Structure 1
Amino acid sequence: MRAEVVIITGASSGFGRLAALEAARRGYRVVALARRAERLAALARAIEATGGTVLTVAGDVTRAEDQERLIAAALERFGRIDALVNNAGVPLAGGFAQVSVADLRRQWETNVLAVIELTRRALPALMRTRGVVVNVGSLAGHFSFPGWGLYYPSKVAVRSISDALRRELAAYGVRVALLEPGPYRTEFAQQAGLPDPGSFGLDPTPVGRAIVDLIEHPRRLRMMPGWMWLPTTIGAALVAAAPVVVDWLMVQWTRRQQRLRTTAAADAPQQDAP
Protein backbone atom coordinates (compact mmCIF):
# COMPACT_ATOMS: atom_id res chain seq x y z
CA MET A 1 0.00 0.00 0.00
CA ARG A 2 1.19 3.52 -0.79
CA ALA A 3 -0.25 5.86 1.83
CA GLU A 4 -0.86 9.43 0.74
CA VAL A 5 -1.77 11.27 3.94
CA VAL A 6 -0.09 10.25 7.19
CA ILE A 7 -0.93 11.58 10.66
CA ILE A 8 1.92 11.32 13.17
CA THR A 9 1.55 12.21 16.84
CA GLY A 10 4.44 13.22 19.04
CA ALA A 11 6.13 14.54 15.90
CA SER A 12 8.27 17.28 17.45
CA SER A 13 11.12 14.98 18.49
CA GLY A 14 12.40 11.43 18.64
CA PHE A 15 10.76 8.68 16.64
CA GLY A 16 7.87 10.90 15.58
CA ARG A 17 10.09 13.56 14.03
CA LEU A 18 12.22 10.96 12.27
CA ALA A 19 9.12 9.24 10.90
CA ALA A 20 7.71 12.56 9.66
CA LEU A 21 10.96 13.39 7.85
CA GLU A 22 11.15 9.91 6.32
CA ALA A 23 7.51 9.92 5.23
CA ALA A 24 7.93 13.30 3.57
CA ARG A 25 11.12 12.10 1.88
CA ARG A 26 9.16 9.23 0.35
CA GLY A 27 6.56 11.64 -0.98
CA TYR A 28 3.80 11.33 1.60
CA ARG A 29 1.80 14.30 2.81
CA VAL A 30 2.42 14.55 6.53
CA VAL A 31 0.11 15.85 9.26
CA ALA A 32 2.20 16.34 12.39
CA LEU A 33 0.83 16.82 15.91
CA ALA A 34 2.81 17.86 18.99
CA ARG A 35 2.52 20.28 21.89
CA ARG A 36 5.64 22.32 21.11
CA ALA A 37 4.73 24.73 18.34
CA GLU A 38 8.30 25.94 17.87
CA ARG A 39 9.53 22.38 17.32
CA LEU A 40 6.73 21.78 14.83
CA ALA A 41 7.70 24.93 12.95
CA ALA A 42 11.28 23.66 12.71
CA LEU A 43 10.02 20.30 11.44
CA ALA A 44 7.89 22.04 8.81
CA ARG A 45 10.86 24.07 7.60
CA ALA A 46 12.99 20.93 7.33
CA ILE A 47 10.33 19.10 5.30
CA GLU A 48 9.47 22.01 3.04
CA ALA A 49 13.14 22.70 2.36
CA THR A 50 13.31 19.35 0.57
CA GLY A 51 10.07 19.89 -1.34
CA GLY A 52 7.86 17.89 1.00
CA THR A 53 4.29 18.68 2.07
CA VAL A 54 3.41 19.02 5.74
CA LEU A 55 0.57 20.33 7.87
CA THR A 56 1.43 20.98 11.52
CA VAL A 57 -1.14 21.05 14.31
CA ALA A 58 -0.01 22.24 17.73
CA GLY A 59 -1.99 20.42 20.38
CA ASP A 60 -2.12 17.87 23.16
CA VAL A 61 -2.97 14.36 22.05
CA THR A 62 -4.79 13.71 25.33
CA ARG A 63 -7.33 16.50 24.72
CA ALA A 64 -10.49 15.51 22.85
CA GLU A 65 -10.80 18.94 21.23
CA ASP A 66 -7.23 18.74 19.91
CA GLN A 67 -7.85 15.26 18.53
CA GLU A 68 -10.96 16.49 16.74
CA ARG A 69 -9.11 19.53 15.43
CA LEU A 70 -6.32 17.29 14.12
CA ILE A 71 -8.67 15.02 12.17
CA ALA A 72 -10.68 17.95 10.86
CA ALA A 73 -7.54 19.80 9.73
CA ALA A 74 -6.21 16.75 7.88
CA LEU A 75 -9.51 16.19 6.06
CA GLU A 76 -9.99 19.87 5.26
CA ARG A 77 -6.49 20.22 3.82
CA PHE A 78 -6.07 16.86 2.08
CA GLY A 79 -9.51 15.25 1.96
CA ARG A 80 -8.37 11.87 3.23
CA ILE A 81 -6.38 9.97 5.87
CA ASP A 82 -4.42 6.90 4.82
CA ALA A 83 -2.36 6.17 7.92
CA LEU A 84 -2.30 7.07 11.60
CA VAL A 85 0.90 6.71 13.61
CA ASN A 86 0.18 6.70 17.35
CA ASN A 87 3.67 7.63 18.51
CA ALA A 88 3.17 10.14 21.34
CA GLY A 89 4.23 8.81 24.73
CA VAL A 90 5.74 9.81 28.04
CA PRO A 91 8.07 7.87 30.35
CA LEU A 92 7.45 7.34 34.03
CA ALA A 93 10.49 6.34 36.05
CA GLY A 94 10.34 5.87 39.78
CA GLY A 95 9.25 3.39 42.39
CA PHE A 96 5.63 2.70 43.23
CA ALA A 97 5.88 4.66 46.46
CA GLN A 98 7.37 7.71 44.74
CA VAL A 99 5.27 8.12 41.59
CA SER A 100 2.34 10.50 41.97
CA VAL A 101 -1.17 9.62 40.87
CA ALA A 102 -1.23 12.79 38.74
CA ASP A 103 1.87 11.64 36.81
CA LEU A 104 0.42 8.17 36.43
CA ARG A 105 -2.84 9.54 35.09
CA ARG A 106 -1.01 11.76 32.61
CA GLN A 107 1.04 8.79 31.42
CA TRP A 108 -1.98 6.56 30.79
CA GLU A 109 -3.90 9.35 29.11
CA THR A 110 -0.99 9.82 26.68
CA ASN A 111 0.35 6.30 26.22
CA VAL A 112 -2.92 4.37 26.23
CA LEU A 113 -6.17 6.32 26.12
CA ALA A 114 -5.00 8.65 23.35
CA VAL A 115 -4.23 5.61 21.17
CA ILE A 116 -7.80 4.40 21.57
CA GLU A 117 -9.53 7.76 21.27
CA LEU A 118 -7.57 9.08 18.28
CA THR A 119 -7.88 5.79 16.40
CA ARG A 120 -11.63 5.87 16.99
CA ARG A 121 -11.86 9.42 15.65
CA ALA A 122 -9.76 8.61 12.58
CA LEU A 123 -11.54 5.32 11.89
CA PRO A 124 -14.26 6.57 9.49
CA ALA A 125 -11.61 8.19 7.26
CA LEU A 126 -9.32 5.15 7.52
CA MET A 127 -12.17 2.85 6.54
CA ARG A 128 -12.74 4.86 3.36
CA THR A 129 -9.10 4.49 2.33
CA ARG A 130 -8.59 0.99 3.78
CA GLY A 131 -5.78 2.56 5.74
CA VAL A 132 -3.21 1.59 8.32
CA VAL A 133 -2.71 2.25 12.04
CA VAL A 134 0.83 1.99 13.39
CA ASN A 135 1.13 1.95 17.17
CA VAL A 136 4.53 2.62 18.73
CA GLY A 137 4.87 0.50 21.83
CA SER A 138 8.03 -0.72 23.53
CA LEU A 139 9.92 -3.87 24.37
CA ALA A 140 8.99 -2.84 27.91
CA GLY A 141 5.58 -4.30 27.09
CA HIS A 142 6.99 -7.79 27.68
CA PHE A 143 8.39 -7.32 31.19
CA SER A 144 8.13 -5.49 34.46
CA PHE A 145 11.19 -4.05 36.15
CA PRO A 146 11.65 -2.41 39.56
CA GLY A 147 11.67 1.35 39.32
CA TRP A 148 9.64 1.24 36.10
CA GLY A 149 6.72 -0.85 37.33
CA LEU A 150 4.15 1.83 36.54
CA TYR A 151 5.51 2.61 33.06
CA TYR A 152 5.80 -0.91 31.69
CA PRO A 153 2.08 -1.72 32.15
CA SER A 154 1.15 1.14 29.80
CA LYS A 155 3.19 -0.56 27.07
CA VAL A 156 1.62 -3.92 27.89
CA ALA A 157 -1.71 -2.17 27.30
CA VAL A 158 -0.55 -0.81 23.92
CA ARG A 159 0.45 -4.33 22.87
CA SER A 160 -2.92 -5.76 23.93
CA ILE A 161 -4.86 -2.90 22.32
CA SER A 162 -2.95 -3.40 19.07
CA ASP A 163 -3.85 -7.10 19.05
CA ALA A 164 -7.53 -6.32 19.67
CA LEU A 165 -7.67 -3.57 17.04
CA ARG A 166 -5.84 -5.68 14.45
CA ARG A 167 -8.35 -8.49 14.76
CA GLU A 168 -11.41 -6.27 14.84
CA LEU A 169 -10.57 -3.53 12.32
CA ALA A 170 -9.47 -6.05 9.67
CA ALA A 171 -13.17 -6.57 9.01
CA TYR A 172 -13.32 -2.93 7.87
CA GLY A 173 -10.21 -3.20 5.71
CA VAL A 174 -8.05 -1.29 8.21
CA ARG A 175 -4.75 -2.90 9.11
CA VAL A 176 -2.95 -2.44 12.44
CA ALA A 177 0.79 -2.82 13.06
CA LEU A 178 2.80 -2.61 16.27
CA LEU A 179 6.38 -1.39 16.52
CA GLU A 180 8.26 -2.17 19.74
CA PRO A 181 11.58 -0.29 19.98
CA GLY A 182 14.24 -1.02 22.55
CA PRO A 183 16.86 1.32 24.04
CA TYR A 184 17.23 4.06 21.45
CA ARG A 185 18.76 7.49 21.99
CA THR A 186 15.89 10.02 22.12
CA GLU A 187 14.59 12.65 24.53
CA PHE A 188 12.94 9.80 26.39
CA ALA A 189 16.13 9.31 28.40
CA GLN A 190 16.24 12.94 29.48
CA GLN A 191 12.53 13.01 30.32
CA ALA A 192 12.95 9.85 32.37
CA GLY A 193 15.87 11.31 34.31
CA LEU A 194 18.35 8.75 33.02
CA PRO A 195 22.03 9.70 33.31
CA ASP A 196 23.92 11.14 30.35
CA PRO A 197 20.97 11.10 27.90
CA GLY A 198 23.22 12.24 25.07
CA SER A 199 25.03 8.90 25.01
CA PHE A 200 22.22 6.60 26.16
CA GLY A 201 21.01 4.00 23.70
CA LEU A 202 21.23 3.31 19.98
CA ASP A 203 20.97 5.64 16.99
CA PRO A 204 17.18 6.13 16.53
CA THR A 205 17.27 6.89 12.79
CA PRO A 206 16.32 3.32 11.73
CA VAL A 207 13.16 3.52 13.85
CA GLY A 208 11.83 6.40 11.77
CA ARG A 209 12.35 4.34 8.63
CA ALA A 210 10.73 1.31 10.25
CA ILE A 211 7.57 3.27 11.07
CA VAL A 212 7.14 4.26 7.42
CA ASP A 213 7.98 0.72 6.32
CA LEU A 214 5.08 -0.53 8.45
CA ILE A 215 2.76 1.99 6.79
CA GLU A 216 3.73 0.57 3.42
CA HIS A 217 3.89 -3.07 4.49
CA PRO A 218 1.86 -3.57 7.70
CA ARG A 219 2.62 -6.57 9.85
CA ARG A 220 1.52 -7.70 13.26
CA LEU A 221 4.71 -6.89 15.17
CA ARG A 222 8.19 -5.58 14.57
CA MET A 223 10.76 -5.43 17.36
CA MET A 224 13.76 -3.13 17.07
CA PRO A 225 16.60 -3.72 16.93
CA GLY A 226 15.87 -7.08 15.34
CA TRP A 227 18.35 -8.96 17.50
CA MET A 228 16.28 -8.03 20.59
CA TRP A 229 13.73 -10.64 19.55
CA LEU A 230 15.84 -13.46 20.99
CA PRO A 231 16.61 -12.03 24.46
CA THR A 232 13.04 -10.76 24.74
CA THR A 233 11.65 -14.19 23.92
CA ILE A 234 14.07 -15.91 26.29
CA GLY A 235 13.30 -13.41 29.05
CA ALA A 236 9.56 -13.88 28.67
CA ALA A 237 9.99 -17.66 28.72
CA LEU A 238 12.12 -17.42 31.87
CA VAL A 239 9.48 -15.32 33.62
CA ALA A 240 6.82 -17.90 32.70
CA ALA A 241 8.94 -20.94 33.61
CA ALA A 242 10.62 -19.69 36.80
CA PRO A 243 8.68 -16.73 38.22
CA VAL A 244 9.95 -17.37 41.76
CA VAL A 245 13.58 -17.12 40.64
CA VAL A 246 12.91 -13.96 38.62
CA ASP A 247 11.07 -12.39 41.56
CA TRP A 248 13.96 -13.18 43.90
CA LEU A 249 16.49 -11.63 41.53
CA MET A 250 14.37 -8.50 41.11
CA VAL A 251 13.93 -8.12 44.86
CA GLN A 252 17.70 -8.38 45.39
CA TRP A 253 18.29 -5.79 42.68
CA THR A 254 15.73 -3.44 44.24
CA ARG A 255 17.31 -3.76 47.69
CA ARG A 256 20.73 -3.01 46.23
CA GLN A 257 19.41 0.10 44.53
CA GLN A 258 17.84 1.23 47.80
CA ARG A 259 21.15 0.78 49.61
CA LEU A 260 22.98 2.75 46.93
CA ARG A 261 20.49 5.61 47.19
CA THR A 262 20.77 5.64 50.98
CA THR A 263 24.57 5.71 50.81
CA ALA A 264 24.55 8.47 48.20
CA ALA A 265 22.20 10.56 50.31
CA ALA A 266 24.38 10.11 53.38
CA ASP A 267 27.54 11.05 51.46
CA ALA A 268 26.02 14.12 49.81
CA PRO A 269 27.37 17.43 51.19
CA GLN A 270 24.99 19.12 53.58
CA GLN A 271 24.10 22.75 52.96
CA ASP A 272 24.18 25.11 55.88
CA ALA A 273 20.89 26.65 56.79
CA PRO A 274 20.63 30.36 55.89
Structure 2
Amino acid sequence: MSCQYRTKWLDRQNIYYNKMSIAVVTGASSGIGYSLTDELAANGFIVYACARRLEPINDLKDRHGPEKIKPYQIDISNNEEIVTFRQFLESELQNGKVDLLYNNAGQACSFATLDVTDRIMEDCFKVNVFGHINITRELSKLIINAKGTIVFTGSIAGIVSFPFMTTYSATKAAIHQYARGLHLEMKPFEVRVINAITGGVETAIAEKRPMPSNSLFNFPEGLEAFKARSKKVQKMSSSQYAKQMVKVIMNSNDPVDVYKGSFAMIARVLALFVPMWVLNKLLYKFNKLDKVESSIKQKGAKKSL
Protein backbone atom coordinates (compact mmCIF):
# COMPACT_ATOMS: atom_id res chain seq x y z
CA MET A 1 0.00 0.00 0.00
CA SER A 2 1.48 3.37 -1.04
CA CYS A 3 2.03 6.10 1.55
CA GLN A 4 -0.73 8.20 -0.03
CA TYR A 5 -3.34 5.44 0.12
CA ARG A 6 -2.20 4.26 3.55
CA THR A 7 -2.69 7.80 4.87
CA LYS A 8 -6.20 7.91 3.40
CA TRP A 9 -6.93 4.47 4.87
CA LEU A 10 -5.78 5.54 8.33
CA ASP A 11 -7.78 8.76 8.07
CA ARG A 12 -10.92 6.81 7.22
CA GLN A 13 -10.37 4.34 10.05
CA ASN A 14 -9.93 7.24 12.47
CA ILE A 15 -13.22 8.72 11.23
CA TYR A 16 -15.25 5.52 11.32
CA TYR A 17 -13.91 4.10 14.56
CA ASN A 18 -14.41 7.42 16.27
CA LYS A 19 -17.47 7.02 18.50
CA MET A 20 -18.77 10.41 17.36
CA SER A 21 -19.06 9.40 13.68
CA ILE A 22 -22.37 10.63 12.27
CA ALA A 23 -24.53 8.73 9.79
CA VAL A 24 -27.80 9.67 8.12
CA VAL A 25 -29.90 6.77 6.81
CA THR A 26 -33.13 7.31 4.90
CA GLY A 27 -35.86 4.68 4.74
CA ALA A 28 -34.73 3.45 8.15
CA SER A 29 -38.05 2.05 9.37
CA SER A 30 -37.84 -1.33 7.61
CA GLY A 31 -35.78 -3.70 5.50
CA ILE A 32 -32.34 -2.55 4.37
CA GLY A 33 -32.57 0.84 6.12
CA TYR A 34 -33.55 -0.71 9.43
CA SER A 35 -30.72 -3.26 9.29
CA LEU A 36 -28.20 -0.63 8.19
CA THR A 37 -29.17 1.57 11.13
CA ASP A 38 -28.71 -1.40 13.46
CA GLU A 39 -25.33 -2.37 11.97
CA LEU A 40 -23.95 1.17 11.84
CA ALA A 41 -24.89 1.77 15.49
CA ALA A 42 -23.15 -1.50 16.39
CA ASN A 43 -20.03 -0.14 14.66
CA GLY A 44 -19.90 3.07 16.66
CA PHE A 45 -21.95 5.46 14.53
CA ILE A 46 -24.52 7.88 15.82
CA VAL A 47 -27.34 7.33 13.34
CA TYR A 48 -30.00 9.83 12.36
CA ALA A 49 -32.59 7.26 11.30
CA CYS A 50 -34.92 9.00 8.85
CA ALA A 51 -38.33 7.68 7.84
CA ARG A 52 -41.96 8.64 7.48
CA ARG A 53 -42.86 6.16 10.24
CA LEU A 54 -40.78 6.27 13.41
CA GLU A 55 -42.50 3.59 15.50
CA PRO A 56 -40.42 0.67 14.13
CA ILE A 57 -37.19 2.56 14.86
CA ASN A 58 -37.99 2.70 18.56
CA ASP A 59 -36.84 -0.93 18.91
CA LEU A 60 -33.39 0.10 17.70
CA LYS A 61 -33.43 3.11 19.98
CA ASP A 62 -34.14 0.80 22.93
CA ARG A 63 -31.42 -1.64 21.82
CA HIS A 64 -28.59 0.85 21.21
CA GLY A 65 -29.72 3.77 23.35
CA PRO A 66 -30.96 7.26 22.46
CA GLU A 67 -27.39 8.52 22.22
CA LYS A 68 -26.77 6.19 19.24
CA ILE A 69 -30.16 6.12 17.46
CA LYS A 70 -31.82 9.43 16.72
CA PRO A 71 -35.11 8.95 14.83
CA TYR A 72 -36.15 11.79 12.54
CA GLN A 73 -39.47 11.93 10.74
CA ILE A 74 -39.16 13.05 7.14
CA ASP A 75 -40.71 12.44 3.74
CA ILE A 76 -37.85 12.90 1.28
CA SER A 77 -40.29 13.49 -1.57
CA ASN A 78 -40.98 16.86 0.10
CA ASN A 79 -38.01 19.18 -0.46
CA GLU A 80 -39.15 21.61 2.24
CA GLU A 81 -38.79 18.82 4.80
CA ILE A 82 -35.29 18.10 3.49
CA VAL A 83 -34.28 21.75 3.93
CA THR A 84 -35.71 21.72 7.46
CA PHE A 85 -33.71 18.56 8.21
CA ARG A 86 -30.50 20.18 6.94
CA GLN A 87 -31.13 23.20 9.17
CA PHE A 88 -31.76 20.86 12.10
CA LEU A 89 -28.46 19.05 11.54
CA GLU A 90 -26.56 22.32 11.20
CA SER A 91 -27.84 23.41 14.62
CA GLU A 92 -27.45 19.93 16.14
CA LEU A 93 -23.93 19.04 14.98
CA GLN A 94 -21.35 21.29 16.59
CA ASN A 95 -18.55 20.27 14.22
CA GLY A 96 -20.77 20.59 11.12
CA LYS A 97 -19.88 17.12 9.85
CA VAL A 98 -21.86 14.17 8.51
CA ASP A 99 -19.57 11.19 7.90
CA LEU A 100 -22.08 9.05 6.02
CA LEU A 101 -25.22 9.77 4.02
CA TYR A 102 -26.95 6.54 3.05
CA ASN A 103 -29.70 7.26 0.49
CA ASN A 104 -31.85 4.18 0.93
CA ALA A 105 -35.52 5.22 0.93
CA GLY A 106 -37.44 3.58 -1.90
CA GLN A 107 -40.84 3.47 -3.56
CA ALA A 108 -42.12 0.36 -5.35
CA CYS A 109 -43.75 0.57 -8.77
CA SER A 110 -44.54 -2.83 -10.28
CA PHE A 111 -47.22 -2.39 -12.89
CA ALA A 112 -47.55 -2.93 -16.59
CA THR A 113 -45.91 0.12 -18.12
CA LEU A 114 -49.11 1.47 -19.69
CA ASP A 115 -50.94 1.14 -16.35
CA VAL A 116 -48.63 3.60 -14.60
CA THR A 117 -50.56 6.81 -13.96
CA ASP A 118 -49.02 10.26 -13.62
CA ARG A 119 -49.48 10.07 -9.87
CA ILE A 120 -47.80 6.67 -9.53
CA MET A 121 -44.92 7.74 -11.78
CA GLU A 122 -44.40 11.03 -9.93
CA ASP A 123 -44.46 9.32 -6.52
CA CYS A 124 -41.87 6.79 -7.67
CA PHE A 125 -39.50 9.37 -9.16
CA LYS A 126 -39.96 11.80 -6.25
CA VAL A 127 -38.72 9.21 -3.75
CA ASN A 128 -36.27 7.11 -5.79
CA VAL A 129 -34.61 9.93 -7.71
CA PHE A 130 -35.50 13.51 -6.78
CA GLY A 131 -35.53 12.86 -3.02
CA HIS A 132 -32.02 11.37 -3.07
CA ILE A 133 -30.69 14.14 -5.30
CA ASN A 134 -32.22 16.86 -3.12
CA ILE A 135 -31.02 15.48 0.22
CA THR A 136 -27.53 14.90 -1.22
CA ARG A 137 -27.37 18.52 -2.37
CA GLU A 138 -28.67 19.91 0.93
CA LEU A 139 -26.29 17.86 3.10
CA SER A 140 -23.29 18.15 0.75
CA LYS A 141 -21.39 20.77 2.78
CA LEU A 142 -21.70 18.69 5.94
CA ILE A 143 -20.39 15.63 4.10
CA ILE A 144 -17.53 17.56 2.46
CA ASN A 145 -16.56 18.93 5.89
CA ALA A 146 -16.18 15.33 7.09
CA LYS A 147 -14.57 14.02 3.89
CA GLY A 148 -17.30 11.46 4.22
CA THR A 149 -19.16 8.91 2.14
CA ILE A 150 -22.41 9.00 0.18
CA VAL A 151 -24.14 5.71 -0.67
CA PHE A 152 -27.14 5.11 -2.92
CA THR A 153 -29.22 1.95 -2.82
CA GLY A 154 -29.34 1.05 -6.49
CA SER A 155 -30.82 -2.11 -7.97
CA ILE A 156 -30.19 -4.78 -10.56
CA ALA A 157 -33.46 -3.45 -12.02
CA GLY A 158 -31.40 -0.43 -13.02
CA ILE A 159 -29.20 -2.53 -15.30
CA VAL A 160 -31.81 -5.08 -16.43
CA SER A 161 -35.30 -3.76 -17.14
CA PHE A 162 -37.72 -6.40 -15.90
CA PRO A 163 -41.28 -6.66 -17.27
CA PHE A 164 -43.89 -4.97 -15.06
CA MET A 165 -41.10 -3.02 -13.35
CA THR A 166 -40.10 -0.60 -16.10
CA THR A 167 -40.88 2.62 -14.21
CA TYR A 168 -39.03 1.38 -11.12
CA SER A 169 -36.16 0.27 -13.39
CA ALA A 170 -36.06 3.75 -14.93
CA THR A 171 -35.72 5.38 -11.49
CA LYS A 172 -32.88 3.07 -10.53
CA ALA A 173 -31.08 3.55 -13.85
CA ALA A 174 -31.35 7.31 -13.29
CA ILE A 175 -29.89 7.15 -9.79
CA HIS A 176 -27.07 4.87 -11.01
CA GLN A 177 -25.98 7.48 -13.53
CA TYR A 178 -26.35 10.29 -11.00
CA ALA A 179 -24.17 8.39 -8.50
CA ARG A 180 -21.51 7.65 -11.11
CA GLY A 181 -21.24 11.27 -12.18
CA LEU A 182 -21.29 12.50 -8.58
CA HIS A 183 -18.51 10.04 -7.76
CA LEU A 184 -16.20 11.89 -10.14
CA GLU A 185 -17.24 15.38 -9.04
CA MET A 186 -16.77 14.62 -5.33
CA LYS A 187 -13.37 12.96 -5.72
CA PRO A 188 -11.42 16.27 -5.52
CA PHE A 189 -13.16 16.95 -2.19
CA GLU A 190 -12.13 13.50 -0.88
CA VAL A 191 -15.76 12.41 -0.62
CA ARG A 192 -16.56 8.86 -1.70
CA VAL A 193 -19.75 8.10 -3.62
CA ILE A 194 -20.86 4.47 -3.80
CA ASN A 195 -23.61 3.05 -6.00
CA ALA A 196 -24.84 -0.14 -4.27
CA ILE A 197 -26.37 -2.18 -7.08
CA THR A 198 -28.61 -4.43 -5.03
CA GLY A 199 -29.95 -7.86 -5.88
CA GLY A 200 -32.47 -9.91 -3.93
CA VAL A 201 -32.81 -8.75 -0.33
CA GLU A 202 -35.65 -9.44 2.10
CA THR A 203 -37.46 -6.09 2.34
CA ALA A 204 -41.00 -4.74 2.63
CA ILE A 205 -40.78 -2.72 -0.61
CA ALA A 206 -42.70 -5.25 -2.74
CA GLU A 207 -45.70 -3.87 -4.62
CA LYS A 208 -48.98 -4.60 -2.83
CA ARG A 209 -51.37 -2.73 -5.12
CA PRO A 210 -53.48 -4.91 -7.46
CA MET A 211 -53.57 -4.72 -11.23
CA PRO A 212 -55.95 -1.95 -12.41
CA SER A 213 -59.27 -3.30 -13.70
CA ASN A 214 -58.78 -1.57 -17.07
CA SER A 215 -55.31 -3.03 -17.65
CA LEU A 216 -54.47 -4.54 -21.04
CA PHE A 217 -53.26 -7.56 -19.06
CA ASN A 218 -56.51 -8.08 -17.13
CA PHE A 219 -57.22 -11.58 -18.41
CA PRO A 220 -56.11 -14.96 -17.00
CA GLU A 221 -52.76 -15.28 -18.80
CA GLY A 222 -51.99 -11.59 -18.26
CA LEU A 223 -52.73 -11.87 -14.56
CA GLU A 224 -50.47 -14.91 -14.37
CA ALA A 225 -47.64 -12.94 -15.99
CA PHE A 226 -48.30 -10.00 -13.66
CA LYS A 227 -48.03 -12.27 -10.61
CA ALA A 228 -44.84 -13.84 -12.00
CA ARG A 229 -43.00 -10.53 -11.42
CA SER A 230 -42.97 -11.30 -7.68
CA LYS A 231 -41.95 -14.94 -7.87
CA LYS A 232 -40.47 -16.22 -4.66
CA VAL A 233 -36.71 -16.50 -5.16
CA GLN A 234 -33.99 -16.95 -2.60
CA LYS A 235 -33.06 -13.59 -1.12
CA MET A 236 -30.33 -12.40 1.20
CA SER A 237 -31.44 -11.26 4.63
CA SER A 238 -31.35 -7.50 5.13
CA SER A 239 -29.07 -7.96 8.15
CA GLN A 240 -26.51 -9.90 6.10
CA TYR A 241 -26.69 -7.29 3.35
CA ALA A 242 -26.18 -4.50 5.90
CA LYS A 243 -23.10 -6.21 7.32
CA GLN A 244 -21.59 -6.46 3.83
CA MET A 245 -22.33 -2.83 3.02
CA VAL A 246 -20.92 -1.52 6.31
CA LYS A 247 -17.70 -3.41 5.52
CA VAL A 248 -17.60 -1.61 2.16
CA ILE A 249 -18.13 1.73 3.91
CA MET A 250 -15.42 1.05 6.48
CA ASN A 251 -12.97 -0.05 3.78
CA SER A 252 -10.40 2.34 2.31
CA ASN A 253 -11.28 1.51 -1.30
CA ASP A 254 -13.11 4.01 -3.49
CA PRO A 255 -15.42 1.97 -5.73
CA VAL A 256 -18.20 3.38 -7.86
CA ASP A 257 -20.46 0.35 -8.32
CA VAL A 258 -20.71 -2.30 -5.61
CA TYR A 259 -22.81 -5.41 -6.30
CA LYS A 260 -24.46 -6.94 -3.24
CA GLY A 261 -27.49 -9.13 -2.62
CA SER A 262 -28.71 -12.35 -4.24
CA PHE A 263 -28.21 -12.57 -8.03
CA ALA A 264 -26.47 -9.17 -8.16
CA MET A 265 -23.30 -10.54 -9.76
CA ILE A 266 -25.32 -12.81 -12.06
CA ALA A 267 -27.29 -9.79 -13.27
CA ARG A 268 -24.04 -7.94 -13.88
CA VAL A 269 -22.64 -10.78 -15.99
CA LEU A 270 -25.90 -11.12 -17.94
CA ALA A 271 -25.98 -7.39 -18.68
CA LEU A 272 -22.32 -7.31 -19.73
CA PHE A 273 -21.95 -10.49 -21.78
CA VAL A 274 -25.36 -11.83 -22.85
CA PRO A 275 -26.73 -10.31 -26.10
CA MET A 276 -29.87 -8.26 -25.54
CA TRP A 277 -31.99 -10.49 -27.78
CA VAL A 278 -31.02 -13.54 -25.70
CA LEU A 279 -31.69 -11.72 -22.43
CA ASN A 280 -35.06 -10.51 -23.71
CA LYS A 281 -36.00 -14.03 -24.72
CA LEU A 282 -35.17 -15.34 -21.24
CA LEU A 283 -37.13 -12.56 -19.52
CA TYR A 284 -40.05 -13.03 -21.90
CA LYS A 285 -40.38 -16.70 -21.02
CA PHE A 286 -39.54 -16.33 -17.32
CA ASN A 287 -42.27 -13.72 -16.93
CA LYS A 288 -44.78 -15.88 -18.89
CA LEU A 289 -45.28 -13.28 -21.58
CA ASP A 290 -45.10 -16.09 -24.16
CA LYS A 291 -48.38 -17.38 -22.72
CA VAL A 292 -49.85 -13.88 -22.95
CA GLU A 293 -48.85 -13.74 -26.61
CA SER A 294 -50.40 -17.15 -27.33
CA SER A 295 -53.65 -16.15 -25.64
CA ILE A 296 -53.89 -12.89 -27.62
CA LYS A 297 -53.21 -14.72 -30.88
CA GLN A 298 -55.87 -17.35 -30.10
CA LYS A 299 -58.43 -14.66 -29.31
CA GLY A 300 -57.55 -12.86 -32.51
CA ALA A 301 -57.97 -16.06 -34.52
CA LYS A 302 -61.39 -16.71 -32.96
CA LYS A 303 -62.53 -13.15 -33.78
CA SER A 304 -61.44 -13.55 -37.40
CA LEU A 305 -63.49 -16.74 -37.66
Alignment CA distance shift 1:70-1:53 (3 Å): same
Is the CA contact (8 Å cut-off) linking 1:15 and 1:204 kept in structure 2?
yes
SS of 2:109's equivalent in the other structure is coil
Is the CA contact (8 Å cut-off) linking 2:156 and 2:267 kept in structure 1?
no
1:161-200 Cα offsets, whole Å, 9 max, x none, are: 1100000111222110111221111102364777999986
Alignment-mate amino acid for residue 208 of structure 1: A
Alignment CA distance shift 1:27-1:154 (3 Å): same
Is the CA contact (8 Å cut-off) linking 1:33 and 1:70 kept in structure 2?
no
| Equivalent in the alignment of 2:255 | 219
SS of 2:114's equivalent in the other structure is coil
Asked if 1:7 corresponds to 2:24, the answer is: yes
Is the CA contact (8 Å cut-off) linking 1:134 and 1:214 kept in structure 2?
no
Decide which moves more: 68-77 or 103-112: 68-77
Shift of 1:122: 0.7
Q: 2:89 aligns with which of 71, 74, 84?
A: 74
Alignment-mate amino acid for residue 222 of structure 1: V
Is the CA contact (8 Å cut-off) linking 2:235 and 2:262 kept in structure 1?
no
Shift of 1:26: 1.0
Alignment CA distance shift 1:102-1:227 (3 Å): closer
Shift of 1:230: 4.0
TM-score normalised by L of structure 1: 0.83
User: Counterparts of 1:93 and 1:139 in 2: how far apart (Å)?
Assistant: 14
Shift of 1:204: 1.8
RMSD: 2.7
Alignment-mate amino acid for residue 213 of structure 1: K
Q: 2:244 aligns with which of 210, 225, 229?
A: 210
Alignment-mate amino acid for residue 132 of structure 2: V
Is the CA contact (8 Å cut-off) linking 1:81 and 1:131 kept in structure 2?
yes
Shift of 1:5: 0.3
Is the CA contact (8 Å cut-off) linking 1:189 and 1:197 kept in structure 2?
no
User: Counterparts of 1:249 and 1:215 in 2: how far apart (Å)?
Assistant: 35
Asked if 1:254 corresponds to 2:289, the answer is: yes
Q: Kindly, what percent of the aligned residue pairs are identical?
A: 21
Structure 2 counterparts to residues 58-97 of structure 1, below 5 A? 58-79=73-94, 80-97=97-114
Is the CA contact (8 Å cut-off) linking 1:91 and 1:192 kept in structure 2?
no
SS of 1:188's equivalent in the other structure is coil
SS of 1:84's equivalent in the other structure is strand
Is the CA contact (8 Å cut-off) linking 1:137 and 1:155 kept in structure 2?
yes
User: Counterparts of 1:28 and 1:247 in 2: how far apart (Å)?
Assistant: 43
Q: 1:29 aligns with which of 46, 49, 66?
A: 46
Is the CA contact (8 Å cut-off) linking 1:190 and 1:197 kept in structure 2?
no
Is the CA contact (8 Å cut-off) linking 1:24 and 1:52 kept in structure 2?
no
Asked if 1:243 corresponds to 2:279, the answer is: no
Where do 4+ consecutive residues of structure 1 move more than 6 Å? 192-200, 258-261
Structure 2 counterparts to residues 63-142 of structure 1, below 5 A? 63-79=78-94, 80-142=97-159
Q: 1:151 aligns with which of 164, 168, 171?
A: 168
Decide which moves more: 185-194 or 214-223: 185-194
SS of 1:222's equivalent in the other structure is strand
Alignment CA distance shift 1:227-1:52 (3 Å): farther
Shift of 1:249: 5.1
User: Counterparts of 2:51 and 2:163 in 1: how far apart (Å)?
Assistant: 30
1:56-80 Cα offsets, whole Å, 9 max, x none, are: 1111011112212222333333332
User: Counterparts of 1:160 and 1:168 in 2: how far apart (Å)?
Assistant: 13
Is the CA contact (8 Å cut-off) linking 2:201 and 2:261 kept in structure 1?
no
SS of 2:98's equivalent in the other structure is coil
